[in-house]
Amino acid sequence: MANNFNAMPGLLKMLTAMGFGMLAWVVASVFSGGLSIFGQNVSTSDWWESGAGFLCLPAALLMAGSAILMLCRSRYGRPAHIAGWVAINMAVFIGIKRIGIHSSMFIPAMSFNAALIVGISLYLYLSKSIRNYFLAVTD
C-alpha cells in the first residue's frame, strides 16, 4: 500500500489522508473538551447525547474505508469516497440541527459543501492522472 500511496497524484493523496482524518476527528470528539460549530461552543456530551456523534461515526468509517479502497486501487474507492463526503456532510448538518444550533451560516455552508463534493467528484473521475492510477497494475 505504501507503493500505491507514493504512486498517487498529490491531491488524491490529500483526499486519502482526509478519509482517515474524518475518522480521527470523530474519535477525537469523544475525548475533546468540546467543538466549535459556526462559532458556537458545543460540549462533547451535547454532541454525543444529541446523536450527532453517532450520525458522524458511520460516515467517518465510510470515509476511512474509501481511503483503504483507494490505496488498494479498487474500482469502488472513488464512489465510496464521494458517498463518504455526502454522508459526513449530511451527518454533521443533521447533528447541528439536533443540537439546536441556528446560524445564518447554515445555508452558505451547505452550498459550499455541495459545491466541494461536486468538485471532488469531477476531479476523481475526470483527472487523467487519477484514471491512470486506478488502471495501473499494482506490484
Rounded to two decimals, the pTM is: 0.86
Q: Calculate the CA 10 to chain-centre distance.
A: 17
Nearby residues of 61 by Cβ (< 8 Å), 6 or more positions away: 23
Task: Measure the CA dihedral 108/113/117/122, to 10°.
Answer: 50
Average pLDDT over residues 4-28: 92
Residues of the chain with pLDDT > 90: what percent? Answer: 53
| Cα(9)–Cα(129) distance, integer angstroms | 7
